[in-house]
């Protein structure tokens, strides 16, 4: 269940009261749930805005509605509000928002996909790059295709060998290697141009 601190409830109550709309509540949902991009969205909602399958958390002076599809990702979440000299900040701690790592008994492809999405892709994105999982072969070889700044990048071999392969092998012992199937000669905007 979601825990809403007293300061957060006071904050929401003030905001709802300022709107002056009878029955106004606050809706909470997760955008891109289960992915590294996951984020919580809070918005005012009138009774007519609700779909009817939301979880309703009754608080003094307002109701917090949690979108049904978001509920599993918000289970155990903590919402709080902290005042400071220049105002205040609402904080939401939701440990399940980005999903759970697959267990050791999960299929190899699921475990590889999880590490790629949660650890490797955010690092590649810092340089405008991305990688897509093409396949995981029966011998444990992970087949990847690169795009964005990684497509045609002069450092992609180093990234694969010293970054991606090392990380995957450390997290998933069944991974034996990486094979890049990208046509790097056709890259249009590499992060580092080839010599």
pLDDT at position 117 is 87
- Nearest Cα to Cα of residue 29 among 21, 45, 20, 40: 40
Query: CA-to-CA distance for 190 and 192, rounded, in angstroms?
Result: 5
CATH of domain 3-93: 2.60.300.12
What is the location of CATH 2.60.300.12 in the chain?
3-93
Which DSSP category does 70 fall into? Answer: G
Q: Which helix (H) or strand (E) holds 147?
A: strand 141-148
32 CB burial (10 A radius; 0-12, 13-18, 19+)? exposed
What is the location of CATH 3.30.300.130 in the chain?
108-186
CATH of domain 108-186: 3.30.300.130
162 three-class SS: helix
Residue 78 has pLDDT above 90, yes or no: yes
Span 101-153, pLDDT tens digits: 888 899 999 999 999 988 898 889 888 999 999 999 999 999 999 999 999 88
Greater model confidence, 38 or 99: 38
pTM of the complete model beyond 0.75: no
Residue 194 has pLDDT above 80, yes or no: no
pLDDT at position 192 is 80
């Amino acid at each position: 269940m979601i825990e809403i601190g007293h300061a957060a409830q006071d904050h929401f109550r003030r905001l709802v009261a300022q709107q002056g709309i009878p029955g106004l509540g606050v809706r909470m949902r997760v955008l891109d749930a289960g992915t590294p991009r996951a984020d919580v969205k809070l918005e005012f909602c009138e009774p007519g805005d609700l779909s009817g399958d939301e979880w309703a958390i009754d608080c003094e002076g307002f109701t917090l509605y949690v979108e049904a599809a978001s509920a599993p990702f918000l289970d155990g979440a903590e919402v709080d509000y902290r005042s400071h000299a220049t105002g205040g900040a609402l904080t939401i701690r939701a440990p399940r928002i980005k999903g759970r790592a697959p267990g050791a008994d999960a299929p190899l492809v699921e475990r590889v996909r999880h590490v790629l999405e949660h650890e490797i892709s955010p690092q590649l994105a810092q340089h405008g790059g991305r990688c897509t999982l093409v396949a995981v072969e029966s011998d444990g070889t992970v087949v990847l295709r690169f795009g964005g700044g990684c497509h045609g990048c002069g450092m992609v071999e180093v990234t694969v060998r010293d970054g991606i392969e090392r990380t995957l092998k450390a997290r998933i012992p069944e991974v034996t290697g990486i094979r890049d199937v990208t046509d790097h000669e056709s890259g249009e905007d590499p992060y580092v141009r080839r010599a």
